[in-house]
Amino acid sequence: MYTSELSSGKSKLAVNIKLIGDFFEDKNATNVVIKIPMPPTAASAKCVVGKGRAKYEPGERALVWRISNFPGQTEATLDAVVDLITATRYDRFFSYPIFK
């Protein structure tokens, strides 16, 4: 998995993730769920995925990407732009690694 987060000011956050199935092509991963934590100031997100579906879930404060069937030796991408509300104080949210 390759990730990049780009903050364009205090109002938007761009997230790009590339998932690579590094296992035999005759095998499949089923019911894959990837949760990407978002800062507390996240309001909404516009997601574009190559496989599966993704959306911002405010209750979990995360972008949740679900792939029902992911074959081996393939790639899938997630590109999202997250709208942030303005905060009175700006703290760095991410501390690496961001995935559990």
The 10s digit of each residue's pLDDT in 10-60 is 788 899 999 999 999 999 999 999 999 998 889 999 999 999 999 999 999
Radius of gyration of the chain (CA): 14
Partner residues linked to 55 by β-bridges: 64
Closest by CA to 93, choosing from 41, 16, 57, is: 41
Phi, then psi, of 17 in degrees rounded to 5: -130, 135
Q: Which fold would CATH assign to domain 2-84?
A: Immunoglobulin-like (2.60.40)
pLDDT tens digits, 57-94: 999 999 999 999 999 999 999 999 999 987 666 556 55
Q: Is the peptide bond before 39 cis (omega within 30 degrees of 0)?
A: no
